[in-house]
Amino acid sequence: MAARIRDSKPDSHTFEIEPGLLDPRHVVEALEKALPRDWEMVNSAATVHGFSRRCLRVHRRSSSPSASSRDRNGISFAMGVAAARPDSTVVLFDGDGSLMNACAGVETIKRHR
């Protein structure tokens, strides 16, 4: 049973993807191939939080913060995790509304590398 759970796709339902859009399952597969074994996940959007926690199977630390969709603090949280763990890869999963409200945070990330 453990092998079946580990090896099965989280969603094997077949559905048509509109032209110009990505199948989220393919996005998850690409992320799993690209991410290192030990990484930090930060979420700020409730929908993104549920999707990323459920679908990403690669090993990640579980101590990273999460914010609700109202908080719009994902970039701030991600910068804090990156500052606290400078040798880690930090990945922020954020919704479009949160990210658009955080342009100053993007500039801060660039300025501080």
Question: pLDDT of 29-58, one tens digit each?
Answer: 888 888 887 888 887 765 565 666 666 666
Q: Which of 59, 62, 64 is nearest to 76 (CA)?
A: 64
Whether residue 69 has pLDDT greater than 50: no
Structure tokens at 87: 């040798």
Contact of 94 with 49, CB cutoff 8 Å: no
Q: Please tell me the distance from the alpha carbon of residue 48 to that of residue 44, in angstroms, as a whole number.
A: 7
**Which of 64-68, 77-81, 88-92 shows the lowest per-residue confidence on average (mean pLDDT)?**
64-68
May I ask the CATH class of domain 23-112? alpha beta
Contact of 88 with 38, CB cutoff 8 Å: yes
Whether residue 7 has pLDDT greater than 80: no
Structure tokens at 60: 């990640």
Structure pTM? Answer: 0.64
